Amino acid sequence: MKKSVFGFLLISILFSCKDTKEAKSIKNAVIAKDSVITTDESKITTSEEEFKNEFDILIPQNYRTYDNQNPVTALNNKWIELYQENDEYFLGKTNFKIEKGYSECSGDSLLSILPKKKVLLLMDYPELKTGKVKSIKIEEDKIWPKEKLSFTFGNLNYTLRGEGKVLSEEKVSTDDDKIEIFKKVEDYKLYLTVGNNPEKLLLTEMSFNDTFVELLFAGDIDGDGKLDFVFGANRNYEEERVILFLSSKAENGDSVKKVSEIAVQFDC
C-alpha cells in the first residue's frame, strides 16, 4: 500500500513539473514575441531619428549658440540661395549679413541671417546652376486629410494627397487678414503620385501643436526638368522646420528624395 501511494505521488510530482515547465515555456514565448515587436518599433524610431542631410540647408532665422557651436558659422558665399522676386524664383550666390544678438527668452547668444533678398532657402550645394528657376504657382499650400492638390509640370501630372485624423476645425485669421479653416490633425501622411507611377509616401507626422504641413515651393531647383519640393513642417508653434526634396537624388523608383532639413527652435 505504501509503495502504491509513493508511486502515485511520484507520478503526480513529475506531471506537475512538466506542466510548470510548459507554462514557463509558453510565458517566455509571449515575452519573446513582445520583445521582438518592441525592438522593431525601436528600430523604426531610430531610423527616422538617424536621417542625415546630404548637404546642409539654412533659412533666414535667428540661431542659438550651444556649446560654442552655431550652424550659421558654416554659411559662406559658396552657398546657393533660393529667392523670390515678384512671382518668380531664382538661384543665386548667397548675399547676406550675419548679426550677433542675445535671446532674453533662453539666455543664449544668437547669430541671425539677414539676406539682401527675399530668400526662402540657403543651400550648401554649389553645384546648382544659378539663374531663373521654373516653378508653379501654389494655389493651396495645405493638403488636409481627404484632400488632393494636382498640377502639371514638364508634361507630367503631379498629385499630392493627404491622409490623417481630423480632431477639430476652427476659423482663423491669416497674416493677410483672410479667414480660413484650420484643422487639428493627427497621424498625418502625405503621398505623391507622378504620372503613371505608383503613389509614394512623402512624409509623415504623428501630431502637431497649432501647426500643419505647408507646401512652400514647387519647382525645378536641380535643373533636371522635374519638380522639387520645399515643405514647411513645423511640429509645434515654437519651431520653424523646413524639408527639401530633390528629384535628381531620387532612388528605387521614387520621384523625389528627402535630401535635407533644418529645424530652428525658439521656445523659452
d(CA 186, CA 88): 34
Q: What is the dihedral of CA 130, 135, 137, 139, to 10 degrees?
A: -120
The fraction of the chain above a pLDDT of 70, given in percent, is: 82
The string of pLDDT tens digits covering residues 79-90 is 999 999 999 999
Per the CB < 8 A criterion, the answer to whether 83 and 120 are in contact is yes
pLDDT over 80 (residue 167) = yes
- Three-state secondary-structure class, residue 147: coil
Pairwise pLDDT comparison (98 vs 67), residue with the higher score = 98
Confidence bin at 183 (pLDDT 50/70/90): very high
Which amino acid belongs to residue 212?
Answer: F
Quote the pLDDT of residue 11: 41
Q: At 123, which helix (H) or strand (E)?
A: strand 118-123
79/56 Cα distance (integer angstroms):
10
Burial class (CB in 10 A: 0-12, 13-18, 19+), 22: exposed
Q: Is residue 30 scored above 50 in pLDDT?
A: no
